[in-house]
């Protein structure tokens, strides 16, 4: 895959979606990744700006990128760098009461509501802020501008997604993990996304006194039923 030095704002929706989709796939357990989907994403990214194409290529060139032990040690088993963006935005509560009052509760509810607004539901007992699901959602929602008249997608990028990337990348870089490269690719994609939709509205929630506690949401990679008819994912209008 060739990369170029074109500015981020020159990227189109198809290549931007390919960044989100490819990184989402690469953030799955190595033995569960879809090689055909990754190859398709790389083909779409030919000639893409180096800001996010180069980190993906660098990651794929790392021996540890396909090492299950690296994945488990860093991202999955009592991980120092969890794959949940909310963990990098909110402090970990120290008590059960603190957990009930944590700002992450409202964050999780709003993330799940954004999914539903665009007609998608998660499966497989996963939390809404699971990074691969969030990146997958950003890819799919690019193709549904008709569902974004209030600017909810821009809020998703600016409020729910972007703030967690830099601290996650820093935590991964501290451990010299190649997965830091994938977060760098997402940071480039987010800046391109913001440039692409920078003139649009950004939804703000109504003021309210309190928020209900968070619910656990099951996870399956967020996909439209039309794209993968056999998957148990709801896609609404």
- The reply to whether 33 falls in a domain is yes
- The reply to whether 159 falls in a domain is yes
Between 209 and 158, the higher pLDDT residue: 158
Q: What pLDDT does 233 receive?
A: 35
The separation between CA 163 and the C-alpha centre of its own chain, rounded to angstroms, equals: 12
Q: How confident is the model at residue 115 (pLDDT cuts 50, 70, 90)?
A: very high
- Does the pLDDT at position 207 exceed 70? no
Q: For the chain, how many residues are written?
A: 237
Q: Which three-class secondary structure string do you get for the chain? A: CCEECCCHHHCCHHHHHHHHHHHHHHCCCHHHCCHHHHHHHHHHCCCEEHHHHHHHHHHHCCHHHHCHHHHHHHHHCCCCCCCECHHHHCCCCCCHHHHHHCHHHHHHHHHHHHHHHCCECCCCCCCCCEHHHHHHHHHHHCCCHHHCCCCHHHHHHHHHHHHHHHHHHHHHHHCCCCHHHHHHHHHHHHHHHHHHCCCCCCCCCCCCCCCCCCCCCCCCCCCCCCCCCCCCCCECC
Between 219 and 143, the higher pLDDT residue: 143
- The reply to whether 138 falls in a domain is yes
Q: Which residues contact 113 (CB under 8 A, 6 or more apart)?
A: none
Between 13 and 229, the higher pLDDT residue: 13
Q: What pLDDT does 203 receive?
A: 55
Domain CATH number, residue 127: 1.10.3480.10
- Does the pLDDT at position 114 exceed 70? yes
- The reply to whether 153 falls in a domain is yes
Q: How far apart are CA 74 and CA 170, in angstroms?
A: 13
Between 174 and 210, the higher pLDDT residue: 174
Between 31 and 215, the higher pLDDT residue: 31
Q: What pLDDT does 97 receive?
A: 40
Q: How far apart are CA 16 and CA 59, in angstroms?
A: 18
Domain membership of residue 64 as a residue range: 3-196
Mean pLDDT score, 8-31? 89
- The first and second tokens of residue 113, run together, are 């509501």
Average pLDDT, the chain: 80
Residue of 62, 63, 26 whose CA lies nearest to 41: 26
Total domains present in the chain: 1
Of 3-7, 17-21, 40-44, the poorest mean pLDDT is in 3-7
- The reply to whether 98 falls in a domain is yes
- Does the pLDDT at position 27 exceed 70? yes
- The reply to whether 87 falls in a domain is yes
- The reply to whether 192 falls in a domain is yes
- Does the pLDDT at position 34 exceed 90? yes
Mean pLDDT score, 151-169? 94
Mean pLDDT score, 200-219? 49
- Does the pLDDT at position 232 exceed 80? no
- The first and second tokens of residue 38, run together, are 């990754």
Q: How far apart are CA 106 and CA 213, in angstroms?
A: 7
Q: What pLDDT does 102 receive?
A: 61
pTM exceeding 0.85: no
Between 115 and 220, the higher pLDDT residue: 115
Q: How confident is the model at residue 88 (pLDDT cuts 50, 70, 90)?
A: very high
Q: What pLDDT does 107 receive?
A: 92
Cβ atoms of 28 and 140 closer than 8 Å? no
Q: How far apart are CA 134 and CA 115, in angstroms?
A: 9
- The reply to whether 215 falls in a domain is no
């Amino acid at each position: 895959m060739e990369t170029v030095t074109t500015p981020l704002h020159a990227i189109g929706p198809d290549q931007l979606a390919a960044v989100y989709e490819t990184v989402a796939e690469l953030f799955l357990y190595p033995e569960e990744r879809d090689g055909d989907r990754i190859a398709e994403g790389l083909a779409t990214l030919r000639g893409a700006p180096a800001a996010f194409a180069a980190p993906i290529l660098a990651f794929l060139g790392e021996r540890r990128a396909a090492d299950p032990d690296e994945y488990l040690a860093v991202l999955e088993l009592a991980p120092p760098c969890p794959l949940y963006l909310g963990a990098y935005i909110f402090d970990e509560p120290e008590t059960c009461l603190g957990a009930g009052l944590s700002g992450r509760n409202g964050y999780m509810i709003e993330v799940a509501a954004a999914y539903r607004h665009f007609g998608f539901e998660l499966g497989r007992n996963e939390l809404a802020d699971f990074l691969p699901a969030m990146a997958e959602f950003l890819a799919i929602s690019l193709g549904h501008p008709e569902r974004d008249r209030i600017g909810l997608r821009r809020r998703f990028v600016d409020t729910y997604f972007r703030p967690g990337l830099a601290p996650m990348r820093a935590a991964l870089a501290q451990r010299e993990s190649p997965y830091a490269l994938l977060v760098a690719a997402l940071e480039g994609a987010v800046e391109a996304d913001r440039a692409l939709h920078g003139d649009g509205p950004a939804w703000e929630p109504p003021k309210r006194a309190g928020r209900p506690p968070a619910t656990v949401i099951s996870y399956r990679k967020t996909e439209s039923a039309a794209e993968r008819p056999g998957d148990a994912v709801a896609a609404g209008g």
